[in-house]
Structure formats: structure tokens, C-alpha cells
Amino acid sequence: MEYRQLGATELQVSTIGFGAAPLGDVYGKVDVAETTAAVHEAIDSGITLFDVSPYYGLTLAESRLGEALVGYRDKVVLATKCGRYGASEFDFSAASVTKSCEDSLQRLKTDRLDILQAHDVEFGDADQVVNETIPALRRLQEQGKVRVIGITGLSLKNLAAIARRAHVDCMITYCRYNLMISDMDDVLLPVAEERGIGVINASPLHMGVLTEDGVPEWHPSSLEIRAVGRQVVELCKARGVSAPLVALRYCLDHSYVSSTLVGMASRELVRANLKALEFSIDPELLVEIQRLVAPVHNQIWDSGLAENRG
């Protein structure tokens, strides 16, 4: 396993991070015994960053991860979120942030969080996030309940604008840097690099677009994006490699990103993702993929309040 420092923080994180959303049945029912075994195998294999949220499965993912981490807590960098609690339920108030932290600590069976981030901040009022949410996160940090604080979201414009106005330690962005898209580099990276903010990249498979099974029904991508994703999957298969392996390696090669989060619900998936550490992308294959993706490159769906999109 490879490890990188998370921005200017003291945290070192594995370059492959364990995305725990599947533990909340977000992508379909899972075998709890198998997901627990996957968590343990990931830790034994050197994966240290585990990311979850009360939103995933409406607290189910946190509860299951907390159970799986009993006896393993000190071996991981544990990250969760606050502010988003349902498909349309958001509360970025200081009171909500504080209560959410306490509730997450209980579900995760721990007395401190390594990372706590405001979740999908494009759905909140930017002034409130800057003037109320982030100060509340800092108070939790001062109390020793949280080591590192940050923000997450799809909207790069909104993340960058908040990061310019308020000091955050790290950010998670998803579906903005992978084989289908790369605008994270143009919009977010300049701010992150200037301010020493750690960046965690999520959804290297574009939330399922770059998988054999394709996307779930709720996926917000256009039919054109899905069709191109299918073409990439078939091209990789014809070249004797899996698209997820190529996609994850592509993200791991980013020079600034500290960790790439990928969902894992089984030991088989853990092992498949670990193969990316020893894999190199054929340059000719990458050129072919980029040619296929060109018609939809950097296309993204809307998310959040209208004034925060982009």
C-alpha cells in the first residue's frame, strides 16, 4: 500500500480509501458478514482511510461500519460527515453539526473522529456554511472530538468558493476526476494547492458508469454518458483488462490527490481494487478511451441549489 499526507494536516492516508456507502445498502442489499470480512481484509491489506456518512442508508452504513471496526479502530483513519441526512434532508446549523457528531460517535463506537466534513454543501446556504457550519466543526476539533475538518460536494465552484472564504483542512469531491471527467484540476486544484487543503477523490467509476453492471436506477447521468461508459467497459474487456481496474489506476496516478475512495462490499472487491497498486495503464489504451469519452468529457449533472451549481 502507498500512503500520502492529507494536505497540510498530520494525517497520512492510504491512496486507496474504503468507501463505506455500500454498507448502507445504497447499491442493493449486502451480506453483513461479508462486508465485515471485507473491512477486516482491507485493514489487513493496508487500507487505512474509511469514509462513511449518516446519509448512507440513513445511518445504517455508520452502524455497520462501527460494528466491523470493533477491535480495529486504532488501525484506521475514520471519516464521516454531517449536514445531510436524507435525499432532501439538510441541516447545516451549528446545533445539527454538534448533535450529528455525537450521534456518529455512538454509531461508530468511538470517542473521536479523524475527519468530519459537511456533506454536499451545495445544498446549503454558502454564508451559513462559512459563518456557522465550519466554525462549529472547528469547535469540535478544539474539543478533541475531531482531528481534521472539511467539506464535500459535487459542485466544484461551490467548494472552491467556500474554501476561499473559510479555512478547511480537506475536501472530498466526487465524479469530477476519472476517465470520464477531469475538471477538478481546473476549478478546485488551484485553490487546494494554494491553501494546502487535502483533496480526497471519490467515485473513480463515475458512480457505476464504468462497471460491467452499469448504473442504478437513481443515477443522475445522461443516457449519452451511460452509453459512452458502456463503450469504455467493452473496449477494456476487448483489451483483456477490466474498466474498474483501469479507472482506479488512472485516479491513483493523480499527483495531488491524497486518496481515492472506492466502494467495497466484499472481499472480492477489496482484492480487485488492490490490484490497481501493481497495475500500469497501456498508453495506447488510454488514448483510445479518451477518444471514446471526448463527446461527453467534462459533462456533469446538476446538484444542489441553483446558485451553487457548477
Q: Which residues contact 243 (CB under 8 A, 6 or more apart)?
A: 179, 205, 210, 211, 212, 232, 233, 235, 236, 237
Count of alpha carbons within 13 angstroms of residue 254, beta-carbon side: 27
Q: What angle do CA 16, 22, 26 make, to 5 degrees?
A: 140
Query: Do residues 246 and 236 touch, judged by C-beta distance below 8 A?
Result: yes
List the Cα angle 26/36/21 in 5-degree steps: 20
Dihedral sign computed on CA atoms, order 117, 97, 32, 147: positive
Q: Which of 56, 85, 174, 250 is catalytic?
A: 56
Tell me how far the alpha carbon of residue 124 is from its chain's centroid. Answer: 19
250 is catalytic: no
Task: Give DSSP secondary structure letters for 244-288.
Answer: HHHHHHHHHT-SS-SEEEEE--SHHHHHHHHGGGG----HHHHHH
SS3 237: helix
The percent of the chain in helix, strand and coil, each rounded to the nearest 5, is 45, 20, 35
Task: Fill in the amino acid letter for 11.
Answer: L
Residues classed as catalytic: 56
